[in-house]
Structure 1
């Protein structure tokens, strides 16, 4: 179905699906970011946090903080903007790069020929890398808002964080964590590569139609695998983007964690990450299919298809 849409239309459907899915799981996203950040300052102020590495414990810690229940939605607008831009950029570049590859390299006359898993991974990684250049600045701001400030006097708004990042790190500060983000392009590459392969099998074994329900299940399986493989770098990206971070690169982050907590430290908060990522990704595929259906119907009504 998605091949009937132009890159812009497919990107819009994917972006709207991303916003809806992220909005549903946003409190869980805040919880997993707090667990992964593991702020030393917070640990000194609240020693119990070190022991509350689970989802429920961290959830209650956030709710009991100065922001109350609203603290679970800190940085919501920045995160939604990031979700929209990130998914739009990814689906746009993925659709464009994939279609160019099929036309120029494969010279295939089929609208949606089956590609190898390796090809899907490379195309997905390239698309995600192009998208990261546009989305990292908003991601840095969203991460800092979710982690929160350490003082009542600090400006915790989006504008406040923008001013602080520019004042302390200059314009390059908005792209902090870009290198691990580029490495993490393998995450959506694995997700969508596996998704496309499983979808091909399902379509061949069924009636040839991919329903939103099937997309939900396949999306969940795909994202679980991708998250397990790339989690240490996901953790290092969060630490690099945190306010007043002492780290300069991902290897320094991972080396410090390994020294302090051992190999298990690389997977701190993975349960929350997988729960959030799987729900978000599965819902994204679910909503995206609906938005594609609505987009196609709208285009049929207006006579553009």
Structure 2
């Protein structure tokens, strides 16, 4: 089994576990990002309050709306990303070593090369998996208020007493196709491609922090002392969290734009709620909502992203180490068998 495939499968497994752990936060964050009504602006509540509100008004299951396609998307995204990331990184390492043989550089992959590797991997991932995430966004933002888009016969007083209509994966797919045809599944792909910088910054920070730690341990007096598995896991958890925190703060406004474009668009009425594209969404958000609109739900996203990234990195590394140990053990067993 190739190292790229091991990393791809481990990334998928780690992503699924992280998604299950933090999904309610992700659902709430997507709703916060797409809120634009004046009434909703006045009713500012925290993350916990928002979770309780959804659970009380719509049931706990709505916090897991779109979980199935999200798990599929997470497995696909993490698998694709880590698979191509390892392939591109192996090429970067080979190039760095070749340059060293020619007397150029020290043979290590620099920060800029790491950024390019992460960016290329992210672009491939976005182009292949964007349709899944558009469906997930539709399912996460589908609420009882969606009924008002379907009929004008229901007044606002009676709307709260009604249960939302069934809205599963097939409903979301059909809605998207009816709105914009096959290209509807690539809504928000441009800001999503820009968001490639998020994991790029994340991995750049993560690998830089890890490299600095290894260098410090190697040069310290305790360099000969082996690091315990618990210490290694804690370092990975901490650096994964710090890397994701930095990347999220820098790129969050683009994430809000992506969610607005992928959510169900209002077809009539207030023009400020209708977006023609990425630039139009940015202009209207700043004009009508100010800079605050670009950072709606950021506190929720930071908690969700940091927890998810930390869990993902820790689980992925353990899965990779476990897979390599099993393969090495099997290889030793095969060589030791008498011929």
TM over 0.5: yes
Structure-to-structure mapping, 1:84-103, within 5 angstroms: 84-103=75-94
Classify 1:64/1:48 alpha carbon distance in 2 versus 1 (closer, same or farther; 3 Å). farther
Partner of 1:261: 289
Q: Output the CA distance in 2 between the equivalents of 1:271 and 1:5.
A: 39
Contact 1:36 1:239 in 2 (8 A): yes
Structure-to-structure mapping, 1:74-85, within 5 angstroms: 74-85=65-76
Deviates more, 1:281-290 or 1:256-265: 256-265
Q: TM-score, normalised by structure 1?
A: 0.90
Classify 1:50/1:108 alpha carbon distance in 2 versus 1 (closer, same or farther; 3 Å). farther
1:158 aligns with 2:186: no
Partner of 1:177: 188
Contact 2:97 2:107 in 1 (8 A): no
Contact 1:211 1:289 in 2 (8 A): no
Question: How many residues get paired?
Answer: 295
| 1:300 positional shift | 2.4
Question: Which structure 1 residue ranges, 5 or more long, are not aligned?
Answer: none
Contact 2:8 2:79 in 1 (8 A): yes
Deviates more, 1:193-202 or 1:251-260: 251-260
Q: Output the CA distance in 2 between the equivalents of 1:159 and 1:11.
A: 28
Partner of 2:277: 249
Contact 1:231 1:270 in 2 (8 A): yes
CA offset digits 1:152-192 (Å, max 9, x no partner):
57541001111111122111111111000100100000000
Give the secondary-structure state (helix, strand or coil) at the position aligned to 2:109: coil
Question: Which structure 2 residue ranges, 5 or more long, are not aligned?
Answer: 148-162, 218-222, 267-273, 335-339
Partner of 1:219: 240
Contact 1:63 1:71 in 2 (8 A): yes
Q: Output the CA distance in 2 between the equivalents of 1:241 and 1:73.
A: 18
Classify 1:89/1:196 alpha carbon distance in 2 versus 1 (closer, same or farther; 3 Å). same
Contact 1:49 1:58 in 2 (8 A): no
Contact 2:10 2:319 in 1 (8 A): yes
Partner of 2:220: none
Partner of 1:283: 311
- The counterpart of 2:56, out of the listed 64, 69, 79, is 64
Q: Output the CA distance in 2 between the equivalents of 1:201 and 1:113.
A: 16
Deviates more, 1:206-215 or 1:82-91: 206-215
Q: Name segments (4+ residues, structure 1) moved above 4 Å.
A: 152-155, 207-210
Deviates more, 1:211-220 or 1:98-107: 98-107
| 1:5 positional shift | 5.6
Q: Output the CA distance in 2 between the equivalents of 1:87 and 1:60.
A: 30
Partner of 1:28: 25
| 1:48 positional shift | 5.1
1:193 aligns with 2:184: no
Partner of 1:203: 214
Partner of 2:150: none
| 1:51 positional shift | 2.0
Q: Output the CA distance in 2 between the equivalents of 1:50 and 1:102.
A: 53
Higher CA-based Rg: 2
C-alpha RMSD over aligned residues: 2.4
